[in-house]
Amino acid sequence: MIKTIVLFITVISMCINFIACDSNNTVNLVGVQHEFNEKKILPLYEKEPWTPGPKHGDALVGNLKYKQGFAHFDYVNPNAPVGGTLVLSSQLSFDSFNPVTIKGTTPDGIDLLFETLMTSSLDEPASMYGLIAETIEYPMDKSRVTFVIRKEAKWHDGKPITVDDVIYSFNVQRKNMPLTAQYYKDVQEVKKTADRQVTFFLKPGSNPELPHILGQLTVIPKHYFEKRNTNDIFLEPPLGSGQYTIKEFDLGRSITYERNPDYWGWDLAVNKGMYNFQTIQYKVYLDPEVMFQAFKAGEFDFRDENTASKWATEYNSLQFTDGSFKRELIADDSPVGMQALAFNIRRDLFTNAKVREGFSYLFDFEFTNKQIFYNMYKRTKSFYENSVFASYLGGLPGDDELKYLNPFKNQIPPEVFTKVYEPPKTDGSGNIRQNMKTALAFFNEAGWEIKDGKLVDKNGNQMKFEILIYDQGAARILESFIENLKKAGIDAGYRQIDYTHWISQVQKFDYDMISFLFGQSFSPGNEQRYYWGSSEADVNGSRNFIGIKNPVVDSLIESVISAPNFQELKAATRALDRVLLWNHYVIPEWHINYYRIAYKNKFGQPDTSGIPLFVVQYNYVCILTWWEDPEKTKQ
């Protein structure tokens, strides 16, 4: 399932529970650990029988929570006051406002200008409701999908949003954006089938997710973009249809969006109680440490903390004890995917699976977790971690998975059938003598040997590579790994560049190794092609960062995408998980199952107690549903 197309596809949050704080608002837990409960998640996949006819929404997982004619989402305050300013941070030094090309970098928040045919709810794992589109309709075989455009939907210049705009948007994005083109590859034709009705004709039986995915199409105005080169960057504030417009910007440094009082959709149920800030500003900080200090100095309002040591030791200054700032731990039982050190197997060094496996024995998670992370993290051991699709939950593959695996028995690692994957472990002391021996044995098997303290090939060339990073904090985390690599005779190190350049290098696959979060959802599907598919390995801008070209993986991806029901989806995904793991394409890192958030004590928040929330990034909750509390701002 595709959500918003961004470089980091961040995990979706399922269960939100606030952790107790003391009277000074200091969190009295450094970390929280929850065991994944498959029985708790499985009911989400129960689905009512399909019925024909146009509908106000669509559920990819389970059933729609909100019935036709609902007034507003349960997680909002429909009477929230409007006004004030929300200031957020960004690491993107933007140079373009064109959202339909991979050239250049658009600023955070650009999606506030543009809308999709349908919009997701935050308290369902994968449901969406009509936004630009009034209804969605498709037959049982999903051979086509039809959307009816709302007659009241308008661009900011007052012109109506038309079927021609939708068709134009689809064609431009399929042409300019590799990720979008991959998602739309099974669309055979798109036509205007009535005055406000557009129909996409699909390749039958190949892609059950596609009607839902097409509901997430970003619509752009044809009469504006056809006068411009849609595959080039531009810095003219673009025409949109969304809740905000661009008020002002300082190129690469900040951008401010202003709430549009004339927005056409304020009365829609999907917008009630949302987008309550008069202005939303993003300030750009290229250095993560500068960003953190700026937050503590009050330069922006909200922070989703991703550094364990900072959370444990650097949120103890006056503003966090006098009540001017708040911080909270928010439990998260959602799919977290795979954060890992990813090999670029386009590099000759990493083409051998034995070499890749050897590296995994030199990565000491237990020591790093103890010394740097205050034991906050769990080791990740599945590409679908914290979900029902994690292969380790099923033990060894059963008949349901063997149906997918047996045809390739001679093409995949034998461990797929005989072992449940577990990353190498240590005792946490920092002494990895046994793991070092195992690693060197793998290297030796691949033709490398120690000579004069260096690990060299048959020509005497020392093994050498670097890890590309953008955050100085990552350097500290990598210290023990790099030290172990050097003890093994490997010339290893890291190279730090700023985030914008890091994205550029990654999009061109110009690196040896990176740390990356391969996020997953409640319904794995088309994005798997883009992560692991051979067709994407040489496409700049794709997410096949590893460079996988494996026909078995390709076949299993198609089985995932075309799975006719949940049981088949689970079996095919677990089979794919096993093959990816045992090919040692990555060194699994870690995950947490909670958010760490801190923010200025100036906000009003809706009462969401007892309501599970499903969010892509937690600051979306802040943008969408919070408001500036006039009483708190007076204090």
Element (H, E) at 362: none
Angstrom distance (rounded) from CA 596 to CA 33: 13
User: How do residues 433-474 score in pLDDT, each as one tens digit?
Assistant: 999 999 999 999 999 999 999 999 999 999 999 999 998 889
Residues 438 and 576 in one domain: yes
Residues 373 and 266 in one domain: no
Measured from the Cβ of residue 215, the count of other Cβ atoms closer than 10 Å reads 24
Place of tokens 């998260």: 332
Residues 226 and 92 in one domain: yes
Residues 267 and 343 in one domain: no
Residues 209 and 118 in one domain: yes
User: How do residues 227-283 score in pLDDT, each as one tens digit?
Assistant: 999 999 999 999 999 999 999 999 989 999 999 999 999 999 999 999 999 999 999
Residues 258 and 382 in one domain: no
User: How do residues 415-428 score in pLDDT, each as one tens digit?
Assistant: 999 999 999 999 99
Answer whether residue 309 is part of any domain: no
> Looking at residue 617, what is its pLDDT?
73
Greatest mean pLDDT among 517-521, 559-563, 578-582 lies in 578-582
Examine the pLDDT at 390 and tell me if it is beyond 70.
yes
> Looking at residue 635, what is its pLDDT?
65
Shortest CA distance to 242 belongs to which of 617, 608, 623? 623
Give the CATH number of the domain where residue 517 resides: 3.10.105.10
Q: Which of these three, 250, 276, 302, is where a domain ends?
A: 276
Assigned token pair, 301: 């309002």
Average pLDDT over residues 287-303: 95
User: How do residues 508-534 score in pLDDT, each as one tens digit?
Assistant: 999 999 999 999 999 999 899 999 999
Residues 223 and 355 in one domain: no
Q: Which is it for the CA torsion 537, 540, 542, 545, positive or negative?
A: positive
Look at the chain and report how many structural domains it folds into: 2
Residues 224 and 352 in one domain: no
End-to-end CA distance of the chain: give it in Å, rounded: 44
Answer whether residue 128 is part of any domain: yes
Answer whether residue 238 is part of any domain: yes
> Looking at residue 616, what is its pLDDT?
64
Q: Which of these three, 236, 252, 276, is where a domain ends?
A: 276
Examine the pLDDT at 634 and tell me if it is beyond 90.
no
Please check whether residue 291 is in contact with residue 474, taking contact to mean a CB–CB distance below 8 angstroms.
no
Residues 267 and 342 in one domain: no
Percentage of the chain modeled with pLDDT above 90:
78
Answer whether residue 15 is part of any domain: no
Examine the pLDDT at 489 and tell me if it is beyond 60.
yes
Residues 445 and 523 in one domain: yes
CA distances from 56 to 119, 266, 312 (A): 11, 17, 46
Examine the pLDDT at 17 and tell me if it is beyond 90.
no
User: How do residues 182-213 score in pLDDT, each as one tens digit?
Assistant: 889 899 999 999 999 999 999 987 788 999 99
Angstrom distance (rounded) from CA 324 to CA 328: 14
For residue 469, the number of C-alpha atoms closer than 13 Å in the C-beta half-sphere is 19
Answer whether residue 415 is part of any domain: yes
Answer whether residue 513 is part of any domain: yes
Q: Domain range for residue 443?
A: 338-591
> Looking at residue 32, what is its pLDDT?
52
* 18 vs 474, residue with greater confidence: 474
- Provide the strand spans (E) within 172-268: 187-194, 197-202, 218-219, 244-250, 254-259
Residues 243 and 356 in one domain: no
Q: Which residues 6+ apart lie within 8 Å of 569 measured at CB?
A: 389, 523, 524, 560, 563
Q: What is the DSSP string of 264-276?
A: TTTTSGGGTT---
> Looking at residue 440, what is its pLDDT?
98
Helix, strand, coil in percent for the chain, rounding step 5: 30, 20, 50
Answer whether residue 247 is part of any domain: yes
Examine the pLDDT at 137 and tell me if it is beyond 60.
yes
What pTM was estimated for this model as a whole?
A: 0.84
Answer whether residue 445 is part of any domain: yes
Residues 266 and 353 in one domain: no
Give the CATH number of the domain where residue 196 resides: 3.40.190.10
Q: Which of these three, 225, 257, 276, is where a domain ends?
A: 276
